[in-house]
Chains A and B, each alone.
Chain A
Amino acid sequence: MYFFRRTLFLIPLLLVISMVAFTLVRMAPGGPFDKERAPASPEIERNLKAKYHLDKPLPVQYAIWLGGVLRGDFGPSLKYRSHNVTDIIASGLPITLVLGGLAFAFALGVGIPLGFITAVKKGHWEDHVGGTLAILGICIPALVVGPILVMFFGVRWKLFPVALIGTPMHLVLPTVTLGLFFAGRVARLMREGMLGVLDAEFITAARSKGVPERDILLRHAFRTAVLPVVSYGGPLLADLMIGSFVVEQLFRIPGIGVFLVSSSLNRDYTMLVSLVLLYAVVLLVANLLVDFAYGLLDPRVKLA
């Protein structure tokens, strides 16, 4: 019931988000048709604005856009004028989803075990080494990790392609570059969750009952310890699903992450608001799933 209501609640929420985004982008100076070379007469710009309804009042423009969205048409891109926003999303989203999914798997696959080990071995060398690795992952940006990976694995040792897509091999370096930063964060959160739970009452109780340590850690402690990671999982998943500007640019991957930034910079209004809407849907659904997972992992959490 709770989740049914939350799902219904998504609709007004999405309306609010798109409306705020629509207004916000118009407040930024400059327009989609401002170029380094001014057109030969001001009429030309007026023609352009008329063609894309930019000369109408803002609420009317919003209504036109929303009407299109309801019919599954996000309108024309104001920057890539031969394409519709729908075309661009349809061609870029699958690739971004694949890359994001892989990076998500990488982040969890590396981060959770690392956090687990550093917590269990707290104060030992495993903790220090693992902790330092996690911090390296967190504070070295993709801007640095990517080129270094490309330099060695791509250019020097020729193990992986340096950019573009085509084969699964093309996805290896981008996945690692994208995932490393998040893996570090997941590891830190996991370690903290684990530490918080290791001396909780129910664990002590289980120990005194003689449950094997292995089972305690994996079965009982883990479920609660993973909660902070799960909390973080919503935004993490949304961020990965919408793609990464830096990684897509660096490896020239035709996803939609580049467009989220470039449409802001290009003042491609329709494109930007559509992407914000898409991002909001992914984020809200991911957060819904997270709250759902919360109830499953920790029966004590009551949301309704």
Chain B
Amino acid sequence: MVMDGTAQQDSPNKRAWRRFWRNRLAVLGSIALVLLLALVIVWPFLAGSDVTASPGDFIHHPDAHGETPFAEPGGAHLFGTDIHGRDLLSRIVAGTRISLIVGAVGAIVSLVIGVFWGAVAGYTGGRTDSLMMRVVDILYSLPSIIFVIVLITTLHGFLERWGVSSDWIPRLKFIALFAGLGAVSWLTMARIVRGQVLSLRTRQFVEASRALGAGDAHILLRHILPNTAGIIIVYLTLTVPAIILYESFLSYLGLGIQPPQASLGSLIADGSLQINPIRIYWWLLVFPALALVGTLLALNFIGDGLRDALDPKADRNAG
């Protein structure tokens, strides 16, 4: 009874967190992600900033060239080396960092703009809905490649005019890349959220709270969005890999990251050249692919856990 009492006093958020921590896979995923983040953040300090120096053991600078191209995994290079004799492990770590940033940008944009746009369109309905969704259609139809090309060159032109040092070029590409990826990442999210909201806004519980005099914002935030949390999270877990892979496609066209930088996507794209009937340097494909799959599995477990934890029905059932 006492236990029940305290549980009753807990806020829904607290209860959601408790549910989350009870989900074994979600906890496992969280631990893996935290470890990965730690590795990605600490690695550059371990590897140092000097390309020509070698810190020894199995930690290397991701851009340091070596004398043994295509060395097999083992020894000083745990995951082997690539065509320039660079250490694959350190490149995967560096690539994971870039890919995580890219994925996070896509996720945030699609969460903030996409959810807002879709929810407002679906909830308001009628002419506003039509107008907002047509904007989505227009943006979806435009070729994103051209968009990115225009962005990059415009930004580059500005920098040249202002006489900014060429050190900025890789960073500049990043900004354009993020803008380009952000511009496309939220569109489908908006459509999906709008679809759900359209279906939810006529449900009994929404009608009921409206009858009780609740305002639109209150209904949207308190009643409708929590019910779409599941689909939002699931779609986010779909957006992140899509954005990460889209980045590698842009890089393949010369519009993404600059060499010698690496992303998981570009490492996998390089690795895919190794699948041929003549000779296979398997590590160049297998390790980056495993890194991506592992990262995304962890994200998915967390997503599933969050989904179950945030589900309002779970709250109701438990209560």
Contact of B237 among A188, A227, A265, A302 (CB under 8 A): A188
Give every chain A residue within 8 A of B130 (Cβ-Cβ).
6, 9
With CB as the reference atom, state the residue of chain A lying closest to B25.
A128
Stretch from A39-47, A91-99, A100-108, A275-283 contacting the other chain: A275-283
Stretch from B32-40, B164-172, B197-205 contacting the other chain: B197-205
Q: How far is the CA of A235 from the CA of B192 in the complex (A)?
A: 11
Interface SS of chain B = helix
* B146 and A264 within 8 A (CB): yes
* B188 and A135 within 8 A (CB): no
Interface size class of A (residues with CB under 8 A): 35 or more
Any A CB within 8 A of the CB of B195: yes
Any B CB within 8 A of the CB of A131: yes
* B275 and A148 within 8 A (CB): yes
Q: A9-B134, A28-B153, A193-B231 are in contact. Are A151 and B276 (CB under 8 A)?
A: yes
Interface SS of chain A = helix
Digit string of B233-273 for contact with A (CB within 8 Å is 1, else 0)?
A: 01101100110110011000100000000000100110110
Give every chain B residue within 8 A of A193 (Cβ-Cβ).
231
Q: Which of A123-148 contact B (CB under 8 A)?
A: 131-132, 135-136, 138-141, 143-144, 147-148
* B275 and A17 within 8 A (CB): no
Q: Using a Cβ–Cβ cut-off of 8 Å, how many residues does chain B contribute to the interface with A?
A: 64
Contact of B230 among A16, A138, A144, A196 (CB under 8 A): A196
A199 smallest CB distance to B (angstroms): 5
Digit string of B180-205 for contact with A (CB within 8 Å is 1, else 0)?
A: 00000001100110111011001110
Any B CB within 8 A of the CB of A175: no
* A276 and B141 within 8 A (CB): yes
Give every chain A residue within 8 A of B318 (Cβ-Cβ).
none
Q: How far is the CA of A279 from the CA of B139 in the complex (A)?
A: 12
* A189 and B234 within 8 A (CB): yes
Contact of B141 among A132, A224, A279, A303 (CB under 8 A): A279
Any B CB within 8 A of the CB of A25: yes
With CB as the reference atom, state the residue of chain B lying closest to A145.
B272
Contact of A231 among B192, B285, B292 (CB under 8 A): B192
* A192 and B231 within 8 A (CB): yes
Contact of A302 among B150, B202, B285 (CB under 8 A): B202
Q: A28-B150, A135-B297, A185-B238 are in contact. Are A264 and B195 (CB under 8 A)?
A: no
* A283 and B202 within 8 A (CB): no
Give every chain A residue within 8 A of B276 (Cβ-Cβ).
147, 151
Any B CB within 8 A of the CB of A155: yes
* A139 and B195 within 8 A (CB): no
Any A CB within 8 A of the CB of B138: yes
A211 smallest CB distance to B (angstroms): 20
Any B CB within 8 A of the CB of A1: no
Any B CB within 8 A of the CB of A301: yes
* A284 and B275 within 8 A (CB): no
Give every chain B residue within 8 A of A188 (Cβ-Cβ).
234, 237-238
* A298 and B141 within 8 A (CB): no
Q: How far is the CA of A302 from the CA of B198 in the complex (A)?
A: 8
* A272 and B149 within 8 A (CB): no
Any B CB within 8 A of the CB of A52: no
With CB as the reference atom, state the residue of chain B lying closest to A16.
B138
Give every chain B residue within 8 A of A228 (Cβ-Cβ).
192, 195-196, 231, 235
Any A CB within 8 A of the CB of B289: yes
Give every chain A residue within 8 A of B289 (Cβ-Cβ).
140, 144
Give every chain B residue within 8 A of A191 (Cβ-Cβ).
234
Q: A192-B231, A234-B191, A280-B137 are in contact. Are A24 and B198 (CB under 8 A)?
A: no
Any B CB within 8 A of the CB of A232: yes
* A139 and B292 within 8 A (CB): yes
* A21 and B195 within 8 A (CB): no
Q: How far is the CA of A14 from the CA of B141 in the complex (A)?
A: 10
* B275 and A139 within 8 A (CB): no
Contact of B138 among A20, A136, A139 (CB under 8 A): A20
Contact of A265 among B137, B253, B268 (CB under 8 A): B253
Any B CB within 8 A of the CB of A48: no
* A301 and B285 within 8 A (CB): no
Give every chain B residue within 8 A of A302 (Cβ-Cβ).
125, 202
B227 smallest CB distance to A (angstroms): 8
Q: A139-B296, A144-B268, A188-B238 are in contact. Are A300 and B138 (CB under 8 A)?
A: no
Known contacts A9-B134, A189-B238, then 9 further A-B pairs from the complex at CB < 8 Å, ordered by chain A residue: A20-B138, A28-B146, A144-B271, A199-B317, A228-B195, A228-B235, A234-B191, A265-B145, A303-B129
Identify 18 residue pairs between A and B in the complex whose beta-carbon atoms are under 8 Å apart, listed by A's number: A13-B138, A20-B138, A21-B141, A24-B147, A25-B146, A135-B296, A144-B271, A227-B195, A228-B192, A228-B231, A231-B195, A246-B249, A260-B143, A264-B145, A272-B146, A280-B137, A298-B199, A301-B202
Top 4 nearest A-B pairs by Cβ distance? Answer: A231-B195, A147-B275, A280-B141, A139-B241
